[in-house]
A and B are shown apart, each in its own frame.
Chain A
Amino acid sequence: MRQPLAQRLWHWQHKGTPYLFVLPFFLIFCTFMLYPLLKSVYLAFTCTNGPRSIVWVGWDNFNYLCRDRNFWIAVRNTLVYAAASIVLQLPCSMGLALLLHRQWLRGRTLLRFAFFAPYLCGQVFVAVLFSVLFVPRFGLINRLLQLVSGHGLELRWLGEPSLVMPALIIVTLWLYTGFNMIYFLAALQNVDQGLYEAADIDGANAWQKFRHVTMPGIKPIVVFVVVMSTIGSFQLFELPFVLLNNGSGVNQAGLTIVMYLYQTGFETGNLGYAAAIGWVLVLLIMSISALQLRLGRSQP
């Protein structure tokens, strides 16, 4: 006997509804992510000037990448920046978090907001702001340094190759220290207070408590922040792009991998080579993130 219509519909929907709900995301993902990703793999093996003129060059783009001095300058700069982000920024964030976690500190909420606030400005605005602060003779930073040193000083923060990266790192410190502090604060609030009491009873000092109670308690968040900061550092683009006036700075001192990708793809129009750079960047980020996660999981 034939089932009633409502029952048949229910049966069909019971089977098909999950796919129907996934369908919009799937279509968007395929159109805007999967297809461009696959296309970029193909592009990486071509020299192209748009869909009408594509020349297959095989591994030539990757071969050239290995010999491309500018690419290696970009890799070096990015690695230096990423290392500085982790070595300088994360301890600062952690220190601030530990300080602002103290119950006795007055105005904690206000201070937390104050340290977090630069992040709300966004990279472009901060870059514009610092490009004025870093001006050689009349900029606020040099004026402050002149005041402190007591004699004429003309540091060309964005005009001296050796100062470009420190300038970028200073801006990043100001921008992201407060942001990462929020993660650490959240992690610190989740550490079991009973463990501190037990450590007190055992006579542990402040360092021992930090080393053996706090750090293991917040380790997953530390690993997460390290991985995210590393990925963010490898994707660095807007900040140097605006700060260095749409360029890569003197002697390419501010050239990052993404910036080189952009220059190659959109300023030179070599989309195939830019795609190759993009895929090498993906591999680089994946390897470093995997290494960090592995190190994070390993027991001391």
Chain B
Amino acid sequence: MNVRARLQAWLPAVPFGPAPMLLLLLAAGTGILLLLFPVRRSLASLDFWIFAINHRDAYQRAIADFEAARPGVRVACLLVDQTAVSRRLQAAFMSGTHVPDMVEVLAADTGLFFRGPLDDIGFLDLTERLKQTGLYDRMVTARFSVCSSRGRIFGIPHDVHPVMLAYRRDIFEQEGIDPATIVTWDDFVRVGRRLTKDIDGDGVIDRYMLEAEDTSATHFEMLLLQAGGGYFDAAGTLIMDNAVAQQALCAFARMVAGPGRIAGNLGGGQILTQAMQNDYFVCLLCPDWRTKVLEQDIPNMRGKLALMPLPAWTAGGRRTSTSGGTMLGITRPCRNLPLAMDFAQHLYFNANELALRFRTTNIIPPVKDSWTQAVFDEPRPFWSDQPIGRLYCTLAGDVPPVYVTPFMSMARARMGEAVIEATRQYAAHGEQELAAFVGAVLARKADDVRRQMARNPYR
């Protein structure tokens, strides 16, 4: 019997006709093909995930140079949403599925990756490599705090993000205020009470001295770090309710609440643009990255804004803080570790690259020996011709460390609640028992975090 005749004999036996059989055969066929010829992974020598669009723009040239100097090497740089980077990476580390060779992670999220035993952390331990090669000493060491867990370093910091105070130079001049006379936060509050005004007399304040949120820890955190406080110490112990935090929170409550308040908040983006155009804020807490955001969002403020160091908590004290940040990590399954380290050095330690990148992003690199370059002395017309690079570099060495643990986001949330309660207490009762109240609130919030920490068996 020939094939055709055989088929003719078989087909009537298929109860639902030949179509389902054909589908079944197709499914089986494609399955076998996939098994025999699996989808090839990336053809690039290094897969590199980033989340910041301005980083991608700044890295394009650097990657091209890196590839040109090494024939045959290709770096695939993939822009992934910041939340997706963290969640996908976290899931991939846990499940053992494909991860990129290198990845930039937001500093606020790094703690998440440090949850388990040290051996299970998905990033390579770079401690010895960084120290032996001398790269560690070339950087602002405080910045390694966001890349470290239990004394081991799992990444390289991308930035320092020192914080300065951006102020409306035109308003200061109109009011006859010399920024050099504002040395401490007490000085700042004194000036702030003069400049914070209900201009049209409708009972609502139309101009605030400072943009600061009374409903989250976003702005308070910068002042807390400046004061020498934080959420955790180097050993990972929770310190969010220590004496420094209590004093800082009392002072912050006085700024953002009560009849003498000098700070308000509206939110970011377009609203901030409108607020700035309406002279709603005189000063903004301004990490280096924010200078670029302001340049792009409110170009018509060109020449009206200038920068000054943060007022100190006490005369002679620290005049800066830090906010935000990015860590470059090399994952454990990295296919070519020497090449990855080479690429990391090209991106993060090459002085020329860093200088060019500063022009694009306004971000001060953490590599101290790069700060001598002329690019940092260039005057910026937007900032009233101030050499903002030099201003930030002068402060960059003094930024406080930000120690992270997996409980960072929880501690931040609890601190935000403490800020709300403290500001409400101050608005309702003023100075009456403020310090005791703040101490009790912070202790309660900290205990909440400690209870969760106590349940983590991987301490």
Contact = CB atoms under 8 A, between A and B. Distances in A.
Contacts of B37: none
B431 interface: no
A250 B215 contact: yes
A132 to B, nearest CB: 7
A137 interface: yes
B9 A5 contact: yes
A159 B413 CA distance: 14
B441 to A, nearest CB: 12
Given A137-B280, A138-B275, A50 B270 contact: no
Contacts of A60: 455
A60 B456 CA distance: 12
A10 B13 contact: yes
Contacts of B20: 21
Interface string B159-179: 000000000000000000000
Interface residues of A, number: 50
A268 B406 contact: yes
B134 interface: no
A75 B290 CA distance: 38
B448 interface: yes
A160 B213 CA distance: 12
B420 A250 contact: yes
Contact of B15 (A13, A70, A267, A269): A13
A21 to B, nearest CB: 8
Given A13-B13, A152-B202, A251-B417, A53 B116 contact: yes
Given A154-B204, A267-B409, A268-B406, A53 B275 contact: no
Contact of A137 (B270, B275, B407): B275
A3 B116 CA distance: 64
A6 B216 contact: no
B452 to A, nearest CB: 7
A7 B12 CA distance: 9
Contacts of B406: 268-269
A55 B456 CA distance: 10
Nearest to B198: A152
B115 A269 contact: yes
Nearest to A159: B215
A277 B329 CA distance: 32
A62 B311 CA distance: 48
A252 B417 contact: yes
Contacts of B267: 135-136
A33 to B, nearest CB: 17
B203 A151 contact: yes
Most buried by B among A70, A137, A151: A137
Given A135-B271, A136-B266, A152-B203, A269 B90 contact: yes
A122 B204 CA distance: 36
Contact of B95 (A5, A49, A50): A50
A17 B409 CA distance: 53
Contacts of A152: 200, 202-204
A13 B9 CA distance: 15
A89 interface: no
A266 B87 contact: yes
Contacts of B200: 152
Interface string A125-146: 0000000100111110000000
Given A51-B94, A138-B274, A159-B265, A69 B83 contact: no
B216 A266 contact: no
A52 to B, nearest CB: 6
Contacts of B12: 6
Interface of B: 9-10, 12-16, 20, 24, 83, 86-87, 90, 93-96, 112, 115-117, 120, 200, 202-204, 213, 215-216, 265-267, 270-271, 274-275, 280, 406-407, 409-410, 413, 416-417, 420, 448, 452, 455-458
Given A57-B457, A135-B267, A250-B416, 8 more contacts: A10-B13, A20-B24, A49-B116, A50-B93, A50-B94, A52-B116, A53-B120, A160-B215
19 contacts: A6-B10, A9-B13, A13-B13, A14-B15, A17-B15, A20-B24, A49-B117, A52-B116, A52-B120, A57-B457, A132-B270, A138-B275, A152-B200, A154-B204, A156-B215, A247-B216, A267-B410, A269-B115, A271-B94
Q: Kindly list the 10 A-B residue pairs having the minimum CB-CB distance in the complex, ordered from nearest.
A: A49-B116, A50-B94, A152-B204, A152-B202, A9-B13, A250-B215, A6-B13, A269-B115, A55-B457, A267-B409
